[in-house]
């Protein structure tokens, strides 16, 4: 994983975020999706806790990456309904097909209004449902599991009749939802919620989160044979009354691969890949 942490010249620190460039090795994805680019932001908390210029810069960074898909994984507001009116202005303009799930704060503030706001700019909001989008020569199934922290999650409903042979991506705001996914389900799950610990004190922060049954704090995990990436979120920190220490805001840019960098597929797998491509 590569992380770009220094602010560009002329960019105030409060408008800055780290860009994580991650290669996700998932041998089960379709050969047609080798090199699939996916962008993720989470926990934006539009309002006084997050400078608007930081959010707009994140949208620009996503578009510069030219992803095939963009994923938004919850908590776009905090406690007030007023920022709902700003969602379109601040988070609109992502050029790639964009998929959205809701977080606990979104349900507490007003899920219907937030869903409507995103749908009005052409984003697809998934609440225990899935969508199929064709990328290149093969379909990608995007599964959206609603927020587990508020008890709105229903994994079975979200996956019902979702094609199993396709590349399958899961959005779930709460990372522990990954425990409910089918074991070895050939799934890549993207979450947020934790803010990467927000105030990170070595050993203490993760110990406290484990006691709160939140063992997945930041970065990449393998959970029940599936992959899970926990985004640190874009909101709070500098320019906000809510501090972040040792866990800076993040935009995550993924490249999916069937093999680890620098390694060739085994001969038999390489033959299957070629056969798949010839048959498409």
Asked if residues 126 and 147 have their Cβ atoms less than 8 Å apart, the reply is no
pTM greater than 0.85: yes
Write down the mean pLDDT value for the chain.
Answer: 92
CATH number at residue 182: 3.60.21.10
200-256: pLDDT as tens digits: 999 999 999 999 999 999 999 999 999 999 999 999 998 888 899 999 999 999 999
Q: Which domain holds residue 84?
A: 2-279
Instruction: Say whether pLDDT at 272 is over 50.
Output: no
The half-sphere exposure of 2 on its side-chain side, counting CA atoms within 13 A, is 6
- Band (280; pLDDT cuts 50, 70, 90): very low
Q: What are phi and psi of 217, to 5 degrees?
A: -105, -45
For 52-107, give the DSSP string.
HHHHHHHHHHHHHH--SEEEEES----S-SGGGGGHHHHH----S-EEEE--HHHH
Asked if residues 114 and 90 have their Cβ atoms less than 8 Å apart, the reply is no
- Overall domain count for the chain: 1
- Band (118; pLDDT cuts 50, 70, 90): very high
Instruction: Say whether pLDDT at 268 is over 90.
Output: no
């Amino acid at each position: 994983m590569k992380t770009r942490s220094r602010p560009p010249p002329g960019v105030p620190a409060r408008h800055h975020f780290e860009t994580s460039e991650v290669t996700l090795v998932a041998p089960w994805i379709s050969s047609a999706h080798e090199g699939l680019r996916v962008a993720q932001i989470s926990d934006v908390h539009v309002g006084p806790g997050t400078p608007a210029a930081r959010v707009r810069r994140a949208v620009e960074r996503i578009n510069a990456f030219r992803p095939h898909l963009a994923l938004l994984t919850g908590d776009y507001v905090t406690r007030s309904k007023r920022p709902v009116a700003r969602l379109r202005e601040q988070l609109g303009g992502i050029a790639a097909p964009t998929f959205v799930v809701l977080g606990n704060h979104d349900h507490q503030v007003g899920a219907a209004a937030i869903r409507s706001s995103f749908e009005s700019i052409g984003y697809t909001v998934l609440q225990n449902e899935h969508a199929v989008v064709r990328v290149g020569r093969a379909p990608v199934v995007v599964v959206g599991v609603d927020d587990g922290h508020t008890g709105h999650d229903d994994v079975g409903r979200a996956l019902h009749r979702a094609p199993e042979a396709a590349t399958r991506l899961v959005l779930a705001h709460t990372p522990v939802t990954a425990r409910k996914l089918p074991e070895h389900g050939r799934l890549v799950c993207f979450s947020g919620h934790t803010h990467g610990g927000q105030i990170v004190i070595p050993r203490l922060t993760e110990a406290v989160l484990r006691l709160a049954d939140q063992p997945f704090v930041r970065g990449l995990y393998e959970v029940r044979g599936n992959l899970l990436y926990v985004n640190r979120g874009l909101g709070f920190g500098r320019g906000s009354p809510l501090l972040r220490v040792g866990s800076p805001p993040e935009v995550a840019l993924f490249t999916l691969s069937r093999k680890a960098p620098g390694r060739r597929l085994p001969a038999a797998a390489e033959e299957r890949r070629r056969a798949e491509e010839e048959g498409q």
